[in-house]
Amino acid sequence: MAVSKKIEFTPPNFTEEWNEAKRYPEFKEMGKSAFIKFAKKNGKQIKFSSIKNKGLSNYNPKFKNLEEPKKDRFFKAFEKGVIEMSVFIKWNDSQHELMAGNTRVSGLNMVGIDPLIWCIDMKSLGNEY
């Protein structure tokens, strides 16, 4: 089902995504404020299609199997035409992991939209963040 609806993608709310981020020891160790700074500085928006065949983990593309409240939130945002970017972690060129926003990516793919996502590149993790 392809849809020609125009969607505005907003940057992730990293304060809200902290609960997802702290599941990763790398981010938990740096703390919330340093994580937010790191994610903004070392991330960029890209099309989901540019990574969908590059070792995705923690991603469930089956929208129908996802939680009903999250699907309801997705449909409300979709109707408004404004959706927050999902967040992926780029561990290396062939390994990416979904950190937050599975329902958004799955829902948009379901309706034939290649969403913009926020991709945090971990290559500079050892540097000062």
pLDDT, tens digit only, all 129 positions of the chain:
555 679 999 999 999 999 999 999 999 999 999 999 999 999 999 999 999 888 899 999 999 999 999 999 999 999 999 999 999 999 998 999 999 999 999 999 999 999 999 999 998 786 554
Return the amino acid letter for 107. Answer: G
Q: Are 39 and 21 in contact (CB under 8 A)?
A: yes
What domains are there in the chain, each with its CATH number? 8-124 (3.90.1530)
Find how far residue 42's CA is from the centre of its chain: 14
Against a cut of 0.85, is the pTM above it?
Answer: yes
What is the residue whose two structure tokens read 């919330």? 32
Bridge partners of residue 66, in order along the sequence = none
